[in-house]
Amino acid sequence: MKDPECIDTADVVLIESTYGSRCHRDRKETVQEIGEVISAARAGQGNILIPAFAIGRSQEVLYMLGRHFNEWELSRFQVFLDSPMAIEASKVYWGNAQLYDEEASRLRKQMSVGKGGDENGGMCTGGRIVHHLKHNLPYAHNHVIIVGYQAFGTLGRKLVDGFEMVRIHNEEIPVKAQIHTVGGLSAHGGQDDLARWYECMANRPPVYLVHGERESQTAFKEYLSSRTGAKVHLPDPGDILDLGALPERA
């Protein structure tokens, strides 16, 4: 998609802070890492599972696979997007080519959108991906690429944290497959990304951090305050922000 435009000023800003405590890897390193996983799976004749959310992440993964199709020798694989919701969302992206940048416009001419199966889940909590994991995790030649944030307590988080056994459909499943966490594809901005977006606003409005675990919020509060001088708040459940009581801008 084309790069977003900056917002010059605001009265108050709510910023998500999922990755407020760290920065993402460079995109080139991410591409190289995924290419290496695909190469290893090809050599070991294993499957690759990529749990992804239906909107945004799935389309980005498809775009990357299309862009590096020849380089990664993907013609030797069968690639399935196993989520009707993701397919329908992809059609929305597909039908709005006027929003593409030049590179995406060129690549669009070489790609197509097909039909798939049941719903998928980005944190491995439901949908067809759970069945795929159940049947693929026990084998060491298979690979799982985690491309998004995994909330505490989810199956995806347990895989990221290195659990040797996980419970799926009331069965204990051994985790023998190789688990790869690729943070560079996350839809959530890293520490620098979030701060850079906020710096577009010259009036430095007060900030309220949301959508993040407390450790990440605390780290980002310190970072953003030090970098920009912003007044940063960490709201608790039940807190109320009265927008009508904010001071008027001159």
Task: Give the residue numbers spanning the domain of 215.
Answer: 13-21+189-245
Residues 35 and 150 in one domain: yes
Residues 197 and 140 in one domain: no
Diameter of the chain measured on Cα atoms:
65
Residue 84: predicted pLDDT: 83
Residues 125 and 158 in one domain: yes
Note whether residue 41 is domain-resident: yes
Residues 203 and 125 in one domain: no
Residues 58 and 144 in one domain: yes
Name the stretches of the chain with pLDDT < 70.
111-123, 249-250
Residue 117: predicted pLDDT: 43
Rounded Cα–Cα distance for residues 218 and 83 (Å): 36
Output the CA–CA distances (angstroms, integers) from residue 177 to 43, 99, 133, 172, 198, in the order listed.
15, 39, 9, 15, 40
pLDDT single digits (tens) 154-172: 999 999 999 999 999 999 9
Q: CB–CB of 173/166 below 8 Å?
A: yes
Residue 118: predicted pLDDT: 45
CATH of residue 116: 3.40.50.10890
Each as own residue / partner, the long-range contacts of residues 2-9 (CB below 8 Å, 24 or more positions apart, any chain) are 2/99, 2/100, 2/101, 3/101, 6/197, 6/200, 7/200, 7/201, 8/200, 8/201, 8/202, 9/201, 9/202, 9/203, 9/205, 9/249
Rounded Cα–Cα distance for residues 141 and 98 (Å): 42
Q: Write the single-letter amino acid at 191.
A: Q
DSSP β-bridge partners for residue 178: 143
Residues 176 and 211 in one domain: no
- What DSSP line would sit under 226-239, residue for residue? HHH---EE-PPTT-
Predicted structure pTM score: 0.73
Rounded Cα–Cα distance for residues 91 and 241 (Å): 38
Residue of 59, 171, 37, 158 lying closest to 113 (CA atoms): 59
Q: CB–CB of 249/243 below 8 Å?
A: no
| Domain total of the chain | 2
Rounded Cα–Cα distance for residues 174 and 163 (Å): 9
Note whether residue 7 is domain-resident: no
pLDDT single digits (tens) 187-239: 788 899 999 999 999 999 999 999 888 999 999 999 999 999 999 999 999 99
Residues 131 and 207 in one domain: no
Q: Residue 137 in 3-state DSSP? A: coil
Residue 116: predicted pLDDT: 45
